[in-house]
Amino acid sequence: MKYSFITQKKKTYPVGLMCRLLGVSRSAYYDYEQRRCNCPDDLHHRQLTWFNKLDSPVKRK
């Protein structure tokens, strides 16, 4: 919850200040950001599945 708040407000307030006020380390926040960016979201996963179905050969009876 704290990390998502920092992410939402990082264009308005300095990340270091928010981390200090919320009691989290900057390195932990940036680790969270890195993990969040490396995980494909649900929409991305559904799109990949859809494209893979298009790419597979058509099975004819």
**Residues 24/2, Cβ–Cβ less than 8 Å:** yes
pLDDT of residue 48: 75
pLDDT of residue 35: 84
pLDDT of residue 37: 72
Q: Each residue of 1-47: pLDDT tens digit?
A: 899 999 999 999 999 999 999 999 999 999 988 887 766 667 667 77
pLDDT of residue 18: 95
pLDDT of residue 36: 79
pLDDT of residue 15: 95
Tokens in use for 53? 């179905």
The ranges assigned to domains in the chain are: 1-37
